C-alpha cells in the first residue's frame, strides 16, 4: 500500500499541509483509526501552536482529500477514503443489448446458489461476512421483551386465538393501522384494510410474483441482485431478465424501456429502490417517477422491496416508489427483520391492483401470519425507543461500513473498486478481472470465514470478480485479521504481493 | 319429530322397559340432556324400588337402543343417538368411474370458495358453525404465557436473532428434536435434522405439492375434502382428481388404483388418514399399508396431513401413514393450530425423498419460520400439562359433537344422515336430495349464523345437499336455538313441517 504521505515533496509546504501530513501518517500507521474523532480546533491550536485559520485549513484540506468527514456540531472524524486508494465501482455498460435469459445460465442457478449456501452452512464458520443480518447485539431486546409481556398481560389469550377466518383474514387491525401510518410518514397512502401481513419479505415478493406472472413469464430484476430473488423467480418457474444497475442510481430505466419493447412476456419488475442489494444504490426521485410511469404504460407490476429505506442516512425524507403510484401498479413489500427484530420474520405488503389475488394466494398457501409478531411490530415501530435505536443502528452501521472499507483499501489487491453506500449492511467489491470470488469463497470457508461470492447475485456469470462483504459486525482487531487473510488470498490469486 | 316412546304399546311391557320409556320421555322433553349422567344403579334401585337386575337391564336396554353410552368406571351418559333417528352417512358409489377434472368445474372453484369465505367474513356473525378452529377458551393460555416468559428469560435475545443462514436453516434444534421425539411416539422415525418448521399446515402441504408437481400435473384428493386444499391445488396451477372417500374408512384404494392406471400425470395424493376433514373417517391400518405401497409402486408422492390424529379417541395408538413408509414416499405434515395454540400457526413437515427440494422451496419462498413459535411448541408438546389438557379437550369436543348430533336429530329434516366420528371438530351432514346448502348458507348468514356449505368441499358439485357443522362450541341453549333455526330453514326448503 502506498503511504499517504506521497504528496509531500522536498520544497517547503504550507504549514497546514505539513500538519496534515503528520495526521495522514498517524492514520497510516494505525495511530488514528477510522471512526475516531480528530482533536477539536481549539485543541489543535493549543497542541501545534497554530492559528485558528491554520487549524481550520488543515482540517478542510484533510476533508477535501477524503481523509476526514465533518459531522455537524460534533467535529471531524477519520473516514475510510484516505487518499482515494479505491476507485468507485464501475457503471454498467449500457451499450450492450439487454439479453434475455440464457437457458444454460438459468438452469441450475438455484442449485448453484443453494449449493453455495449449503456449503456455507455446513462449514465451521467463525467469521461470517456472508450474512447481512445484523447481530442480536445491535437491537434492544429488553424493549421487545417488555412489549411481549405487556401484550400477553393485556390479552392473555393472544396465542390461543385462531384468526384465519376473522374479518381481516388474520391481519390484526392494530398491525394494519400501524403499517398504514408508517407508510403515510413516507408519503404512501394505503388503507389499513389493504395491509397484508407476511412472513418477512421473501413471502411478500413471492406472493407478488405468483399473483402477476405464470410459469414461462419473464421478470426483470436489477443486475446484480439479491440471490434470494433469483431463487424465488426460479421456484415459481419464471424467467429472469437482468437489467443493468448503476451502483449510484439503481436500475437503468433506458435498458428497462428497451426490454419492454422486445420482451412481450415481461410481466413484472422487481426493484430495491433504496440501498439496492447488493450495490447500495439509491434511485433518484426523478427515476422513481419515470419507472412507475413506464411500468404503468406497459401494464407490468412494479414490485418494490422497501426493507432498506429505514437504513438510509439522509436529511431528506426517503420516498418509496409507491408514493408515485396512482394506478395501483406498485406492489409494495416491506420487512422488519433487519431493522427491528431479525427473529420475528415480520413483514407486510400491499399488492396494488392485484391485492385481492395476493390475499387469495396467501390464504391458500399459508393462511394467516401469527398474531403476536404483528402486534410486537405494531407496538415497537412507532415508539421513541425504537426511533432512537434506529438512529444508533444507522450510526453503528456507518462506522462499520467505513471501517471495513478502510480495511479493504489496506489489504485487498490494487485495482479493487468500492463505493461507500449511504447506508445499509454491506459493501460490494469489484476486484480486477481474472479474480475468482468462488475460489476465494472456498478458500476462505476452509479457514472459517464466510463471504458471499459475486456469482450468487446473477444468473449471467457477470460478477465472478465481485463479492459482497457484510458490515454487520464491529471492526475489531479480529475483523482486521479476517480482512488481512481475505486480502492476502485475493492478492495471491492475482499474483500481487501481500499488502497492508 | 316422532317421540321416542313409540315402542310402547298397550300390552304390558316388562318393568325395565316401562322404566326405560320414562327416561326416554325425559330425554325427549329435555329433562335429561345429552352428556348428562344417568342416576347410578344404586340410585335407580332406591328411586324406583326395583332390583339390581331390573336396574341393570334397563340401562343395558337404553344403551343397546343408542340412548345411553357406558363409560368405564364412571357410569352411563345420555348420548345423541336416541333411537337411531339418523341413518349413517352414505358410502360413495364406486361403480361410477373416477372422473378427471371437468374444466368447467375447475375454473373458478377457487373463486367460488373465496367468495363464500368472503361473504362469511363480511357478515355480522353471532354464531360461527363454519370455522373448525376451537375457541380460545378450550386452551390453557396461562401455561403458554408462562412458557413464553420462561423462554425470553432464558434467552433474552430470542426475538432479535436472525437464523436463516444458520446451520439448520432457521429450524431450531430444540424444535427439531421435539418433533422427532413426538413422531417416534407414534411409530415414525424422522431424524431431527430432517424436520422443517412451517407456518401451519397450509404452508407444509403447499410446499409438498410445489416440490413434486408442475403446472398441469394432477393431484388426487379425497372427496369431499377440505376446501383449503382445493385452493392450494388451484393456486399452484395443478389439477384436482377427486377420489371417493368412505365416511368410515377414508379414501377408496381401489378407485385410486384405477386413477393411477388411467392418469399418467397423477403425481401426488393428499390424504388426511385420521379424522378425514370433513367426514371424520379413520383409515384402517391395512388400508394405510396398501396406500403407501400403491404410491411407492407408481412413484407418486403421498402427502399426509396428520393434524387431527391428536383428536382421535382411541385406546390404540394412532399410527400415521409415515410409519409404513420405508422408501421416503410419504411427505408428512402436521400442524398444532387446532390442538395446541391456534394463534401460533406452528407446523412442521418432513418431505420424504423430496425433503431437499422442499427445504429449497421453503428457503426461496419464505425463508425460515419464526423461532419463538417453534420453541413454545417444543416446550409445550411434551409437558404433562398439555397432555392433560388434550384429554380434556377431546372429552369436551366429544360432548359437543354428541350434543350437536342430538340437536341435528331433533331439528333437521327427516332423512338427514349423520355419522358420529370418533373424534374431531365437526359433523358432516347429508340432507335429502333437493336440499341446497348454498341456499341455507345465505339464509343463515342473513340471521348471523355461519355454516360451511357442502359445495366448498369439492369441485364436482356433488355435495350441494351436504354441509359441515363445527362442534367447537359448548352445546348451550343458544346453540340449540341456532340448530332449531337452521333445521327450520332446511325443513322449509324441503317442504317438510317444522320439527323439534
Q: Categorize the per-residue pLDDT at A413 as very low, low, confident or very high, splitting at 50, 70 and 90.
A: very high
CA A328 → CA A63, A188, A266, A332, A447, distances in Å?
45, 12, 18, 10, 50
User: Which residue from A minimizes the CA distance to B234?
Assistant: A364
CA B456 → CA A392, B126, B461, distances in Å?
52, 21, 9
Contact, B223 vs B456, CB < 8 A? no
CB within 8 Å: A366 and B371: no
For B466, the enclosing helix (H) or strand (E) is strand B466-470
CB within 8 Å: A364 and B234: yes
* Res. A251: pLDDT tops 70: yes
Burial B228-257 (b: 16+ CB within 10 A, else e): bbbbbbbbbebbbbbbbbbbbbbbbbebbb
Question: Can the peptide bond before residue B278 be classed as cis, meaning omega within 30 degrees of 0?
Answer: yes
Q: CA of A216, closest CA in chain B: separation in Å? A: 11
CB within 8 Å: B169 and A228: no
Contact, A306 vs A323, CB < 8 A? no
* 3-state helix, strand and coil shares in percent for chain B, rounded to the nearest 5: 45, 15, 40
* Res. A78: pLDDT tops 90: no
CB within 8 Å: B343 and A158: yes
pLDDT in tens, B231-267: 899 889 899 999 999 999 999 999 999 999 999 999 9
Question: B182: closest CA among B414, B407, B387, B441?
Answer: B387
Cβ contacts of A71 within 8 Å, gap of 6 or more: A77
The secondary structure of chain A, three-state, reads CCCHHHHCCCCCCCHHHHHHHHHHHHHHCCCCCCCCECCCHHHHHHHHCCCHHHHHHHHHHHHHCCCEEEECCCEEEECCCCCCCCECCCCCCCCCCCCCCCHHHHCCHHHHHHHHHHHHHHCCCCEECCCCCCCHHHCCHHHHHHHHHHHHHHCCCHHHCCCCCCCCCCCCHHHHHHHHHHHHCCCCCCCHHHCEEEEHHHHHHHHHHHHHCCCCCEEEEEECCCHHHHHHHHHCCCEEEEEEEECCCEECHHHHHHHHHHCCCEEEEEECCECCCCCCCECCHHHHHHHHHHHHHCCCEEEEECCCHHHECCCCCCCCHHHHCCCCCEEEEEECCCCCCCCCCEEEEECHHHHHHHHHHHHHHHCCCCHHHHHHHHHHHCCHHHHHHHHHHHHHHHHHHHHHHHHHHHHCCCCCEECCCCECCEEEEECCCCCCHHHHHHHHHHCCEECEEHHHHCCCCCCCCEEEEECCCCCCHHHHHHHHHHHHHHHHHCCCCCCC
Partner-chain residue, chosen from B152, B202, B366, that has the shortest CB–CB distance to A202: B366
CB contacts, 8 Å: B338 with chain A:
162
Measured in degrees and rounded to the nearest 5, phi and psi for residue A401 equal -60, -45
Cβ contacts of B324 within 8 Å, gap of 6 or more: B288, B289, B292, B293, B330
Question: Residue B161: how many CA atoms within 13 Å on its side-chain side?
Answer: 15
**Between A220 and A7, the higher pLDDT residue:** A220
CB contacts, 8 Å: A345 with chain B:
367-370
CB within 8 Å: B159 and A149: no
Whole-number Å distance between alpha carbons of A272 and A260:
19
Contact, B321 vs B309, CB < 8 A? no
- 3-state SS, residue B495: coil
* Res. A110: pLDDT tops 70: no
CB within 8 Å: B160 and A341: yes
CA A389 → CA A311, A379, A380, B10, distances in Å?
12, 14, 11, 88
CB contacts, 8 Å: A373 with chain B:
370
Q: CA of B398, closest CA in chain A: separation in Å? A: 20
Q: CA of B326, closest CA in chain A: separation in Å? A: 26
In this prediction the ipTM stands at 0.82
Partner-chain residue, chosen from B162, B237, B341, that has the shortest CB–CB distance to A337: B162
Partner-chain residue, chosen from B133, B202, B361, that has the shortest CB–CB distance to A235: B361
pLDDT in tens, A9-26: 445 678 988 898 888 778
CB within 8 Å: B134 and A235: no
Q: CA of A176, closest CA in chain B: separation in Å? A: 17
Across chain A, what does the average pLDDT equal? 88
- 3-state SS, residue B68: strand
CB within 8 Å: A206 and B365: yes
Partner-chain residue, chosen from B160, B343, B365, that has the shortest CB–CB distance to A162: B343
Partner-chain residue, chosen from A163, A341, A365, that has the shortest CB–CB distance to B203: A365
Whole-number Å distance between alpha carbons of B413 and B432:
8
Partner-chain residue, chosen from A110, A114, A364, that has the shortest CB–CB distance to B231: A364
Q: How far apart are the first and last CA of chain B?
A: 6
Whole-number Å distance between alpha carbons of B450 and A239:
43
Catalogue all structural domains in chain B, each as residue range(s) with its CATH number.
15-78 (1.10.10.10), 103-137+387-493 (3.90.1150.10), 140-383 (3.40.640.10)
C-alpha cell at B86: 339418523
Q: Categorize the per-residue pLDDT at A106 as very low, low, confident or very high, splitting at 50, 70 and 90.
A: very low
Partner-chain residue, chosen from B134, B360, B372, that has the shortest CB–CB distance to A110: B360
Q: CA of A144, closest CA in chain B: separation in Å? A: 8
CA dihedral B470, B415, B500, B474 (to 10 degrees): -10
User: How confident is the model at residue B499, as a pLDDT?
Assistant: 77
B153 class by beta-carbon count within 10 Å (0-12 exposed, 13-18 middle, 19+ buried): exposed
User: Which residue from B minimizes the CA distance to A368?
Assistant: B345
CB within 8 Å: A235 and B367: no
Partner-chain residue, chosen from B120, B134, B159, that has the shortest CB–CB distance to A344: B159
Whole-number Å distance between alpha carbons of A415 and A433:
9
Contact, B85 vs B55, CB < 8 A? no
CA B198 → CA A97, A170, A229, A370, B205, distances in Å?
42, 17, 20, 12, 10
pLDDT in tens, A377-399: 999 998 999 999 999 999 999 99
- 3-state SS, residue B380: helix
C-alpha cell at A139: 437491537
Question: B52: closest CA among B43, B62, B64, B63?
Answer: B43
**Between A28 and B342, the higher pLDDT residue:** B342
Q: Categorize the per-residue pLDDT at A74 as very low, low, confident or very high, splitting at 50, 70 and 90.
A: confident
B126 class by beta-carbon count within 10 Å (0-12 exposed, 13-18 middle, 19+ buried): exposed
Q: Is A260 left (phi over 0), alpha (psi -120 to 50) or beta?
A: alpha
Q: CA of A295, closest CA in chain B: separation in Å? A: 24
Question: B419: closest CA among B72, B71, B86, B54?
Answer: B86
Least confident of A106-115, A159-168, B155-164: A106-115
User: Which residue from B minimizes the CA distance to A149?
Assistant: B149
User: Which residue from B minimizes the CA distance to A163?
Assistant: B343
* Res. A73: pLDDT tops 80: no
Taking residue A184's Cβ as centre, other Cβ atoms within 10 Å add up to 12
How many angstroms from the chain centroid is the CA of residue A428? 10
The secondary structure of B136-152, three-state, reads HHHCCHHHHHHHHHHHH
User: How confident is the model at residue B11, as a pLDDT?
Assistant: 59
CB within 8 Å: B139 and A160: yes
C-alpha cell at B269: 395424493
| Residues in chain B with pLDDT values less than 70 | 1-12, 28-30, 65, 80-85, 96-110, 163-167, 500
Question: Residue A432: how many CA atoms within 13 Å on its side-chain side?
Answer: 12
Whole-number Å distance between alpha carbons of A207 and A367:
12
B77 beta partners: B37, B69
Residue of A343, A347, A472 to mutate, interface with B, max B Cβ within 10 Å = A343
For B467, the enclosing helix (H) or strand (E) is strand B466-470
Q: CA of B11, closest CA in chain A: separation in Å? A: 57
pLDDT in tens, A130-146: 989 999 999 999 999 99
Amino acid at each position: 500500500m502506498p503511504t499517504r504521505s506521497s504528496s509531500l515533496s522536498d520544497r517547503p509546504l504550507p504549514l497546514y499541509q505539513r500538519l496534515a501530513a503528520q495526521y495522514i501518517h498517524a492514520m497510516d500507521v494505525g495511530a488514528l483509526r477510522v471512526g475516531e474523532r480528530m482533536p477539536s480546533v481549539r485543541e489543535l491550536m493549543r497542541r501545534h501552536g497554530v492559528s485558528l485559520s491554520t487549524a481550520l485549513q488543515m482540517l478542510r484540506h484533510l476533508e477535501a482529500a477524503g481523509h476526514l468527514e465533518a459531522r455537524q456540531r460534533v467535529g471531524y472524524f477519520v473516514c475510510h477514503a484516505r487518499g482515494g486508494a479505491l476507485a468507485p465501482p464501475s457503471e454498467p455498460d449500457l451499450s450492450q443489448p439487454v439479453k434475455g435469459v440464457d437457458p444454460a445460465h438459468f438452469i441450475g442457478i438455484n442449485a448453484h446458489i443453494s449449493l453455495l449456501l449449503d456449503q456455507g452452512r455446513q462449514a465451521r464458520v467463525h467469521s461470517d461476512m456472508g450474512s447481512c443480518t445484523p447481530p442480536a447485539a445491535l437491537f434492544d431486546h429488553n424493549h421487545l421483551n417488555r412489549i411481549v409481556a405487556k401484550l400477553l398481560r393485556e390479552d392473555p389469550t393472544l396465542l390461543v386465538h385462531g384468526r384465519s377466518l376473522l374479518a381481516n383474514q388474520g391481519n390484526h387491525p392494530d398491525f394494519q393501522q400501524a403499517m398504514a401510518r408508517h407508510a403515510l410518514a413516507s408519503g404512501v397512502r394505503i388503507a389499513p384494510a389493504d395491509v397484508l401481513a407476511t412472513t418477512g419479505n421473501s413471502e411478500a415478493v413471492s406472493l407478488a410474483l405468483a399473483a402477476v406472472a405464470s410459469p414461462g413469464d419473464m421478470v426483470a430484476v436489477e443486475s446484480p441482485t439479491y440471490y434470494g430473488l433469483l431463487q424465488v423467480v426460479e421456484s415459481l418457474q419464471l424467467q429472469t431478465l437482468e437489467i443493468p444497475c448503476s451502483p449510484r442510481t439503481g436500475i437503468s430505466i433506458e435498458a428497462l424501456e428497451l426490454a419492454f419493447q422486445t420482451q412481450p412476456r415481461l410481466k413484472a419488475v422487481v426493484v430495491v429502490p433504496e440501498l439496492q442489494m447488493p450495490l447500495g444504490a439509491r434511485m433518484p426521485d426523478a427515476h422513481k417517477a419515470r419507472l412507475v410511469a413506464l411500468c404503468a404504460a406497459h401494464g407490468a407490476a412494479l414490485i418494490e422491496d422497501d426493507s432498506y429505506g429505514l437504513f438510509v442516512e439522509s436529511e431528506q425524507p426517503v420516498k418509496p416508489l409507491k408514493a408515485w403510484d396512482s394506478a395501483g401498479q406498485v406492489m409494495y413489500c416491506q420487512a422488519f427483520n433487519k431493522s427491528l427484530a431479525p427473529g420475528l420474520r415480520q413483514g407486510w405488503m400491499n399488492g396494488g391492483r392485484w391485492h385481492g389475488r395476493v390475499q387469495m394466494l396467501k390464504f391458500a398457501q399459508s393462511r394467516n401470519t401469527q398474531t403476536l409478531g404483528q402486534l410486537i411490530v405494531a407496538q415497537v415501530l412507532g415508539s421513541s425507543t425504537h426511533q432512537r435505536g434506529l438512529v444508533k443502528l444507522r450510526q453503528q452501521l456507518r462506522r462499520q461500513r467505513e471501517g471495513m472499507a478502510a480495511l479493504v483499501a489496506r489489504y485487498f489487491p490494487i485495482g479493487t473498486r468500492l463505493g461507500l453506500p449511504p447506508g445499509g449492511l454491506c459493501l460490494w467489491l469489484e476486484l480486477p478481472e481474472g479474480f475468482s470470488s468462488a475460489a476465494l469463497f472456498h478458500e476462505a470457508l476452509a479457514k472459517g470465514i464466510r463471504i458471499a461470492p459475486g456469482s450468487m447475485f446473477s444468473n449471467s456469470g457477470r460478477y465472478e470478480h465481485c463479492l459482497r462483504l457484510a458490515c454487520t459486525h464491529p471492526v475489531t482487531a479480529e475483523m482486521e485479521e479476517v480482512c488481512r487473510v481475505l486480502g492476502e488470498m485475493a492478492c495471491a490469486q492475482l499474483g500481487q504481493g501481500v499488502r497492508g
